[in-house]
């Protein structure tokens, strides 16, 4: 079980990355290289969603890759959101306090709500109109 990546561009400002397999010292290079293609295409203030549902395993090398993405996105006033980390990944994240807890979502619905909330903040719309 090695690593694979699916990139889904849902909108110009939002890209979802589906991670599969293990992100470790053997595979993080592959992931980093892929990111070099993906990230520059995102607009200023864009959002990257890392879908971790299928990521079975992560090691410190993988953490560093994710940290790199987050730094890149932060430099561009963007956001890096994590979706549905599996137990091992969650455990690793917990141990090293990898990301703020409010940027980790257990499922797509929570993520959507968060994204809507962010949208409203930007556009100034009332939340009720979208409910």
Cα 108 off chain centre by:
12
Q: Does 87 bind another protein (CB under 8 A)?
A: yes
Which of 14, 19, 41 shows the shortest CA–CA distance to 111? 14
Smallest distance, another protein to C-beta of residue 96, A:
6
Residue choice 5, 38, 61, 108 for contact with another protein (CB under 8 A): 61
Nearer to another protein, 12 or 25 (CB): 25
**Which CB atom, from 92 or from 108, has the smaller least distance to another protein?**
92
- Residue whose CB is less far from another protein, 91 or 117: 91
Which candidate, 50, 45, 44, places its Cα nearest to that of 15? Answer: 50
Q: In what order do the strands lie in the sheet with 79-83?
A: 4-11, 14-23, 47-58, 79-83, 104-105
98 binds another protein (CB under 8 A): yes
Instruction: Report if residue 33 touches another protein, rule: CB under 8 A.
Output: no
Where do contacts with another protein occur on this chain (CB under 8 A)?
24-26, 56-57, 59-61, 63-64, 66-67, 70-71, 74, 80, 87-88, 91-92, 95-100
């Amino acid at each position: 079980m090695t690593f694979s990546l699916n990139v889904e561009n849902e909108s110009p400002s939002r890209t979802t990355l589906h991670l599969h397999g293990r992100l470790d010292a053997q595979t993080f290079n592959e992931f980093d290289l892929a990111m070099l293609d993906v990230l520059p295409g995102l607009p200023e203030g864009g959002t990257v969603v890392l879908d971790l549902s299928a990521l079975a395993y992560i090691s410190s090398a993988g953490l560093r890759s994710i940290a790199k993405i987050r730094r890149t996105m932060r430099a561009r006033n963007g956001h890096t959101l994590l979706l549905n980390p599996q137990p091992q990944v969650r455990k690793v994240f917990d141990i090293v306090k990898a990301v703020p807890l409010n940027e980790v979502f257990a499922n797509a619905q929570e993520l959507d709500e968060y994204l809507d909330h962010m949208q409203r903040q930007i556009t100034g719309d009332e939340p009720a109109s979208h409910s």
